[in-house]
Amino acid sequence: MKINGIVLVLLGAASFGFTPIFVKTGYAFGYSLGEINLVQMISAFIILWSLKVFKKERHPLSNQDRLKVMATGTTVGLTSIFYYAAMQYVTASLAIILLFQFVWIGMIYEWIFTKKAPERKNLLALVITLTGVLFASGIAGGSEMELPLVGLGLGLLSGASYAGFIFFSGQVVPDSDPLTRSSFMVAGSMILILFVFVQEIPRVFSADGRLWTLGMGVALVGAVLPPFLFAAGAPLISARLANVLSTVELPVAIVSAMIILSEPVTPWQWVGVGLIIGAVFINEWGRKRPAPL
């Protein structure tokens, strides 16, 4: 049912909006980027594959499809690396705004892989998005918010990898079982994370329970619930509607950072958030789902 798809996608997007809470808390406790990513992906892998063991597959994936899904899963790992790294330099609310640059970065993916040039509405969405960033970053509002170039670059890279996740996850065996897809996705993501942070693996397994508690939390809201709920809900609604509904992640992340992390958010920044969400609506209006790979 369509209403079920809407609820599932909303819950998936909203859950991802809480990841900055766990990440910023982890940094406050002195944990590193590698430690947070490792415990997140290991925890997510254990959770999903434990559930998968007790569920019988009606239509098992072929080896080729498994590799495709795992390759797509690496975009989840890259997003975590860049997004969490950006939070070392900028506020959680600004990091999520930079992540949302997937709105226009996704146009580039579509242009490259489907040979479909951006339309006027896409270019309009690009202008509105960039204007929104100026307001949301505090620049246009005249505030003195710091915007380190390293944080800006990492935030934009998280947007690029997230755009890749949205683009490819909607095409790679989209009709497969959601739990199966999520399990192989997180497997691909975990392999990437283990490779990137291999030197920090011993520290993780000798860490205290607090790190693993944080890791379990960020795993649930960042690597388990979003892909699973999206995989379950997105096929029930249009791709356009799914992408529009995913914008709930932005206000959820900013409000949670404002309430729990006590990060200040100015009225001008809310104007920027509204512009970015509006740009997503414009960009997705009338979009058709690309053919599966």
Q: Encode pLDDT of 150-181 as tens digits.
A: 999 999 999 999 888 877 776 777 777 878 88
pLDDT at 77 > cutoff 70: yes
Residue 6, pLDDT above cutoff 80:
yes
- Rounded CA-CA distance 192/197 in Å is 9
Q: What is the pLDDT of residues 240-276, one digit of tens each?
A: 677 677 778 888 888 888 888 888 878 888 888 888 8
Choose among 12, 77, 78, 21: nearest CA to 44.
77
Query: Token digits for 192?
Result: 């990437």
| pLDDT at residue 139, as a whole number | 59
Contact residues for 245 (Cβ-Cβ < 8 A; gap 6+):
6, 9, 10, 13, 237
DSSP string, 113-148: HH-----HHHHHHHHHHHHHHHHHTTTTTT------
**Whether pLDDT at 212 is above 50:** yes
- Of 14-23, 120-129, 135-144, 161-170, minimum mean pLDDT range: 135-144
End-to-end C-alpha distance for the chain, whole angstroms: 25
CA distance to 170, 204, 237, 268, 280, per residue, from 240 (Å): 11, 40, 8, 28, 9
What is the model's pLDDT at position 165?
83
pLDDT category at 291 given cuts 50, 70, 90 is very low
Q: Is the pLDDT of residue 144 over 60?
A: no
Percentage above 90 pLDDT, the chain:
28
Maximum distance among all alpha carbons in the chain?
58
Residue 263, classed as helix, strand or coil, is coil
Q: Is the pLDDT of residue 292 over 50?
A: no
What is the reported pLDDT for 248? 84
Could you tell me the pTM of the whole model? Answer: 0.86
CB proximity list for 176: less than 8 A, separation 6 or greater: 59, 61, 65, 69
Instruction: Name the band, by pLDDT with cuts 50, 70 and 90, for residue 1.
Output: low
Cα separation, 88 vs 122, in Å, equals 31
| 140-146 contact pairs (CB < 8 A, 24+) | 140/268, 140/272, 141/266, 141/267, 141/268, 141/269, 141/271, 142/268, 143/266, 143/268, 145/94, 146/90
69 in Cβ contact with 188 (< 8 Å): yes
Per cent of the chain over pLDDT 70 is: 90
The pLDDT tens digits for 36-58 are 999 999 999 999 999 887 777 66
Residue with tokens 């002195």: 30
